[in-house]
Structure 1
Amino acid sequence: MYAKSVTPFTPGNRRYSTPEVVLTASISALVDALFRTKTSVKGTFFVTLAFSSVVFAEPCPTPKGLSPEFGINRVIDGDTVVFDDGSRVRLTGFNSFELNDSGWKGRSAREAKRKVTKWLSRKKVRLAPWPAAVDRYGRLLGNLWLDDKYLGELLVSEGLALVVSVPPQNKLVSCLSSIEWAARKARKGFWSLGQLPERIQAMDKNGFRFGVGSVTKIIDSKSFILDSRLRVLLPKADPNVHIGVRFEVRGWVSRSPQWVQNDAPWTLKLKDMTNRVRVF
């Protein structure tokens, strides 16, 4: 069950998405907290937040630490750019599809690259946070600040990128999740195609996936199987997973090890609990 969004986000409007009933990644932390209290009844969780005056969505906060200004040498794709000093930057908090994807995913990836190229053309940008962390590929990690908003806000609001939390580079996940919900409700970009979330039963390749399915097997307190197809590994125990419960999950899928392939040919190791949301 999802909520109605009152005010959709647009690049020129930083007041958006006042949900009445919400169960999205942006409040998964709230869900987890409530699960640990006595509001959980026999392991079944029902939540209704019907206070129209309560605003869960807030604009992404102004960064506290910014890099010096950089020019853009090259846009590799929707979530990776190269600065004019040669530094590669992997933008965090979201993921765009790959340029070599087929069908609608490939078209979405190309449109994301086109939009980013347009938005960054002849502009100076700053990276936040700063100093930036570096990943195992030597890329700087962060998000581009464009005077009054993050590049990630623009991409997610246009339905050209999906939010994903990869701690500790996840400071924008809450606000980006609100923007994603507004884009989803307004059927922006790939949300207009009716292809997302994908059915886990139809999952047939690795890479980044956003899918929905039901729990068909519980392995232990930190792992379960969706639709006899996808093994989900949690970063911490969740006693509220039960057979038949439906989840939306997102992250990078890989082939399961041989010993578990008969039960689930694919595995998704969640980086953060907010990357799985219960669906009613």
Structure 2
Amino acid sequence: MQINSMFTIKKFSLFFCLILNLVTPALLATEIYRSVDDRGRVTYSDVPSTGAQKLDIISQPGRHLHDVARVYDGDTIILADKKQIRLLGVNTPEIESRLRAEEPGGVAAKKWLQAQLQENKVYLEYDQTKRDKYKRLLAHVFTPDGKHINQALLENGLAFVSIIPPNIRYSDKLIQAQQQAEKQKLGIWSMSAYQPKPIEQIANHNKGWQRFIGIPASIKKSRKYTRLMFDDKIDIRIQNTNLDLFPALNIYVGKSLEIRGWVSRNKDHYTVLIQHPSALIVR
């Protein structure tokens, strides 16, 4: 019995060493190199070559290197291991699919993202909630040379801020990037489809992200939501669990307010779910 036990232990040890040898190189791939060939083409690799520049971003805690298989749309990528990555804090217009019509700016965002990720290597950084309701991984995406893709989409007017607590990392930088693009009227900020409409026209809304202008008249609270009421058929609602992120809601009452988000309808009642103060702007 003792001999059998020793044999089992040795067998397990050999198996463990084999697994460790297979896994360790992937875990230790903590260096990446940038090369430019004589035609100006940039490539990245975890193997050094003559004249290659070692990049430092990988020393950032919480970021992990992955291979990209393809870009699905402006805010979603597919990794080589087939995992779907949804970029945190941003939303780009939809591209045409079997279920959705194309939205203005959607193709431009996808093409831009494809150009940024043509070397097929990215670093992913997660926040508090790692997956969404569709089981996609949620992440901030960085190129090997340190570009924050989520932020760059906003800077170029290709996306708008969409912050969903508790994932609020980098929110200040994302909001600032959007403000800069909006001020310069870049990309979607110059498109008629995304200009503010009077909230009284909410019944004529499109399916995608919209901007409305209105003056809330009162506040109504329920067990789950607090609502800013524009009339008895139009409101915006905030989850009570997120109220700590907002200033006192009475500062919005009687003020001209821009609302950014997606419209939900229940019979003749229209509402917009607001999850972060960045979607409410006093005008």
Q: TM-score, normalised by structure 1?
A: 0.66
Tell me the residue number matched to 1:272.
Answer: 276
Instruction: Tell me the CA shift for residue 267 of structure 1.
Output: 1.1
Matched to 2:271, the amino acid is T
Cα separation, partners in 2 of 1:186 and 1:254, compared to 1, 3 Å: same
Contact 1:253 1:268 in 2 (8 A): yes
Determine the C-alpha separation between the residues in 2 that align with 1:63 and 1:274.
27
Determine the C-alpha separation between the residues in 2 that align with 1:208 and 1:218.
27
Matched to 2:211, the amino acid is G
Determine the C-alpha separation between the residues in 2 that align with 1:226 and 1:186.
31
Cα separation, partners in 2 of 1:160 and 1:134, compared to 1, 3 Å: same
Contact 1:251 1:268 in 2 (8 A): yes
What are the superposed Cα offsets for residues 145-174 of structure 1, whole Å, 9 maximum, x if unpaired?
113221112211111100121011221221
Matches of residues 122-271 of structure 1 in structure 2 within 5 Å? 122-129=119-126, 133-146=130-143, 147-199=145-197, 200-203=199-202, 204-205=204-205, 207-220=207-220, 222-226=226-230, 230-235=234-239, 236=243, 238-243=249-254, 245-256=255-266, 258=267, 261=268, 265-271=269-275
Contact 2:211 2:258 in 1 (8 A): yes
Matched to 1:249, the amino acid is I
Cα separation, partners in 2 of 1:63 and 1:175, compared to 1, 3 Å: farther
Contact 1:143 1:151 in 2 (8 A): yes
Tell me the residue number matched to 2:77.
Answer: 81
Gaps of 5+ in 1: 1-61
Matched to 1:111, the amino acid is A
Runs of 4+ deviating beyond 6 Å: none
Tell me the residue number matched to 1:94.
Answer: 90
**What SS does the aligned partner of 2:107 have?**
helix
Determine the C-alpha separation between the residues in 2 that align with 1:128 and 1:144.
7
Matched to 1:179, the amino acid is A
**What SS does the aligned partner of 2:249 have?**
coil
Gaps of 5+ in 2: 1-58
Contact 1:230 1:266 in 2 (8 A): yes
Question: Which has the higher relative contact order, 1 or 2, with Cα contacts under 8 A spaced 6 or more apart?
Answer: 1
Residues matched between the structures, number: 208
Instruction: Tell me the CA shift for residue 278 of structure 1.
Output: 1.1
TM-align CA RMSD: 2.6
Contact 1:75 1:117 in 2 (8 A): yes
Matched to 2:151, the amino acid is E
What are the superposed Cα offsets for residues 229-268 of structure 1, whole Å, 9 maximum, x if unpaired?
641012336122323x111222232113x4xx3xxx3211
Determine the C-alpha separation between the residues in 1 that align with 2:60 and 2:261.
26
Determine the C-alpha separation between the residues in 2 that align with 1:197 and 1:170.
26
Tell me the residue number matched to 2:26.
Answer: none
Determine the C-alpha separation between the residues in 2 that align with 1:229 and 1:184.
30
What are the superposed Cα offsets for residues 156-213 of structure 1, whole Å, 9 maximum, x if unpaired?
1111100121011221221111111111111211222355342133333464423132
**Greater helix share, structure number:** 2
Cα separation, partners in 2 of 1:82 and 1:276, compared to 1, 3 Å: same
Determine the C-alpha separation between the residues in 2 that align with 1:224 and 1:130.
29
Higher mean C-alpha displacement, 133-142 vs 231-240: 231-240
Instruction: Tell me the CA shift for residue 131 of structure 1.
Output: 9.1
Cα separation, partners in 2 of 1:206 and 1:107, compared to 1, 3 Å: closer
Match 2:116 to one of 96, 99, 119 = 119
What are the superposed Cα offsets for residues 15-57 of structure 1, whole Å, 9 maximum, x if unpaired?
xxxxxxxxxxxxxxxxxxxxxxxxxxxxxxxxxxxxxxxxxxx
Sequence identity (%): 25
Tell me the residue number matched to 2:24.
Answer: none
Q: TM-score, normalised by structure 2?
A: 0.65
